[in-house]
Structure 1
Amino acid sequence: MLKEIQLFAIFLMMVALGFISNTYFRQKSYHILNALVPNESKLVIMDNTNGMSSSFSANTILREGNGILFMETTDRMDPPSLVLCAIESAARVYPDRPVVFFMKGLENINTEEDEKRARQHFPTLSSYSNVYLFPLRMDQLLDETPLKPWFDKVNPEKEVYWTHVSSDACRFALMWKYGGIYMDADVISLRPIPQDHFVAAETLTYASSSVFGLSSHYQLTWQFMENFVENYRGEIWGHQGPGVFTRVVKKLYGMPVFNSTDDVMCGNISYFHPQRFYPILYPAWRSYFEVWQNLPTFNDSYALHLWNFMNKEGKSMVPGSNTLVEHLYQKQCPTTYGYILRNEKTHL
């Protein structure tokens, strides 16, 4: 009888120790995970064993690495209609993928409700459940990348093209951290891009930085960032954007040659023909704002880059103008088009 009582006591002690150990390690895991998530991007790290949800952040939304990434590197909070059209068109073309707009001027997003309220300021986007807004914090984004030492010593006030140079840096860091597809905010999506790993040619001899897709922590992105720093010439337009892509692609693969409109392979990634995003080249950028007798089909294109940097005249889509850009708005971003057409109070 005494032996049975002793065995029962030992059993109770083992159960108690197991419970204490389990509680300790769950709490330890909580504190470790909580320490790893930046303060500005986490909601609350919650204990999933109690049925509570995990953190709401860009890390959570983009955890599968299939996001479509846009960004605004100025403090502007009233983006022009072209930006809204670009994001809406991506949301429509990629309904099963998160479309995330990172904005420097956006206040911290601490809860899902914060994000929803921020999105309500953009009525043409608020109806799309796959669109998300998050703040862009450049110093934290570039942390633990080759770009951080450059960022710590660069003086934005002395940079001629700081908005564009900082944008070049951020796109590399976003791709390194999250993966997916990056698009400039003047790119209107037409149809899904079938490849996950690609860079694109802007011309037959020059690579593009406006659209590219890679997995997170892909080694090629690291080489882009290293080249950015090693060859930094911020006073030369394009040197840190398409210049980086061109130098790295040429160094690794030689300059690819197109014998037709077919894409070519560079190692394990696709190198897209200029027709995929640039059927209208930058010298002819005004063509988007002109009336065409016969509208182009763009059957060889996945998206269209509208060369907003070239648009010093401030041309925009005008309802009723019958221009090419109006037709693109009507088809690819009808909510944005309708909003403008109704002449509601807007900053468009």
Structure 2
Amino acid sequence: MNLLREFYLSLLVILLLVCGFLYQFNLKSSSLFTYLYSYKPQQGLEAVLSQGRSIVFLETSDRTKPSPLASCAVESAAQVYPERPVVLLMKGLNNSTQLPSNLSDPAFSFFSEIGNVYFFPLDMKRLFEDTPLFSWFAHVNVSAQSNWLHVSSDACRLAIIWKYGGIYMDTDVISIRPIPEQNFLAAQSSRYSSNGVFGFLPQHPFLWACMENFVEHYDSNIWGNQGPDLMTRMLKIWCTLTDFQEVSDLRCSNLSFLHPQRFYPISYIEWMRYFEVWDTDPSFSNSYALHLWNYMNQKHKTVVKGSNTLVENLYRKYCPRTYRDLIKGPEVSATREMGTGEK
């Protein structure tokens, strides 16, 4: 009996020690588990994107956590498209096991609670396989390229939407209502296309032609040459463009060219208006999303809590978790480091 009692006591001590160890480990690594949940490794990139309905964001720098503005873009998309996967591809996550350097970042914590948000590594070489961009990427001297982060982002967005379909958005685009179109480009102004938002069904021939033109007319020294300029060049080949009438979209062949009001009701010349106080907040009733022109924000204008600026009210309405968790104190930058998808 004494031996049996000693055995049970020893077993109890071991169980208590194990429980104590697991408790301490859980405290120290709770952020790790939070991130692993948000990363959703049980579903691979192919499985998520193969539905052809994803909302896709890109980060082609080495950063491993989204800026507050990128966080707002992702959250607002997840809110507007609850039945569609919202995917952020980050080059900084360079393999399937690498985790962000800051596991306790609040953005990953609240994204873990949003079931349709996914983070995946961006593998450019693999992405460009079986596209006209593969040979270009294999031979390009990255260190010698001007605007490489933006040029590579321009290439990636073409390849991923051609391969899988869905909607691409820059990480400074705040979604406010669903886009009802499948094959579309967004007019930045009359007869000039943006590449900050576009959507197509998988393997659409327009995007294949864009990738061919990307390679044929490649010049990283010209800002926008592989981006909005490319989309505009190809649109002119694809369609006979006319001026917009009132707030109507243009239809051409099997794609739509959406009125500037859909995404650019505030033009790039007036981008500062996002940081002003309006007498009455606009309804943006003709818009599907708002492009905040973060590339223009070279002086890093900030979201000031309690300022009642348009951008603060947009955060509060369309990305409330970002506003709650990332916009703290009297003044926090909306941009901090600019993401490469924020043009």
| Structure 1 length-normalised TM | 0.79
Following TM superposition, by how much is the alpha carbon of 1:79 offset from its aligned partner in structure 2, in angstroms?
2.5
Per the alignment, in what secondary structure is the counterpart of residue 247 of structure 2?
Answer: coil
The residue that corresponds to 1:105 in the other structure is: 92
Q: 5 Å matches for 1:226-305?
A: 226-305=212-291
Instruction: Identify which of structures 1 and 2 has the higher relative contact order when contacts are C-alpha pairs closer than 8 Å and 6+ apart.
Output: 2
Q: Against the structure 1 CA distance between its residues 342 and 119, is the aligned structure 2 distance closer, same or farther, given a 3 Å change threshold? A: closer
Work out whether residues 188 and 304 of structure 1, in 8 Å CA contact, stay in contact via their aligned partners in 2.
yes
Q: 5 Å matches for 1:175-194?
A: 175-194=161-180
The residue that corresponds to 1:326 in the other structure is: 312
Structure-1 separation of matches of 2:211 and 2:129: 12
* Structure 1 stretches of 4+ moved >4 Å: 117-121
Work out whether residues 119 and 125 of structure 1, in 8 Å CA contact, stay in contact via their aligned partners in 2.
no
Which consecutive residues of structure 1, in runs of 5 or more, have no partner in the other structure? 1-53
Work out whether residues 162 and 203 of structure 2, in 8 Å CA contact, stay in contact via their aligned partners in 1.
yes
1:157 pairs with 2:148: no
- In structure 2, what residue type is equivalent to 1:323? T
The residue that corresponds to 1:90 in the other structure is: 77
Q: Against the structure 1 CA distance between its residues 305 and 293, is the aligned structure 2 distance closer, same or farther, given a 3 Å change threshold? A: same
Q: Against the structure 1 CA distance between its residues 225 and 118, is the aligned structure 2 distance closer, same or farther, given a 3 Å change threshold? A: farther
Q: CA RMSD in A?
A: 2.3
Following TM superposition, by how much is the alpha carbon of 1:341 offset from its aligned partner in structure 2, in angstroms?
4.6
1:80 pairs with 2:67: yes
The residue that corresponds to 1:218 in the other structure is: 204
Work out whether residues 120 and 126 of structure 1, in 8 Å CA contact, stay in contact via their aligned partners in 2.
no
- In structure 2, what residue type is equivalent to 1:96? E
Deviations 1:298-334 (A, max 9, x none): 1000000001111111112121111100000000000
The residue that corresponds to 2:20 in the other structure is: none
Deviations 1:71-120 (A, max 9, x none): 10000123221000000000000000000000000142269x99xx8998
| Structure 2 length-normalised TM | 0.80
Following TM superposition, by how much is the alpha carbon of 1:153 offset from its aligned partner in structure 2, in angstroms?
1.6
**Larger Cα Rg: Structure 1 or Structure 2?**
1
Work out whether residues 303 and 327 of structure 2, in 8 Å CA contact, stay in contact via their aligned partners in 1.
no
Structure-2 separation of matches of 1:155 and 1:256: 39
Work out whether residues 84 and 124 of structure 1, in 8 Å CA contact, stay in contact via their aligned partners in 2.
no
The residue that corresponds to 2:295 in the other structure is: 309
Structure-2 separation of matches of 1:118 and 1:214: 36
Work out whether residues 67 and 98 of structure 1, in 8 Å CA contact, stay in contact via their aligned partners in 2.
yes
Following TM superposition, by how much is the alpha carbon of 1:214 offset from its aligned partner in structure 2, in angstroms?
0.3
Work out whether residues 67 and 100 of structure 1, in 8 Å CA contact, stay in contact via their aligned partners in 2.
yes
Following TM superposition, by how much is the alpha carbon of 1:198 offset from its aligned partner in structure 2, in angstroms?
0.8
Following TM superposition, by how much is the alpha carbon of 1:264 offset from its aligned partner in structure 2, in angstroms?
1.2
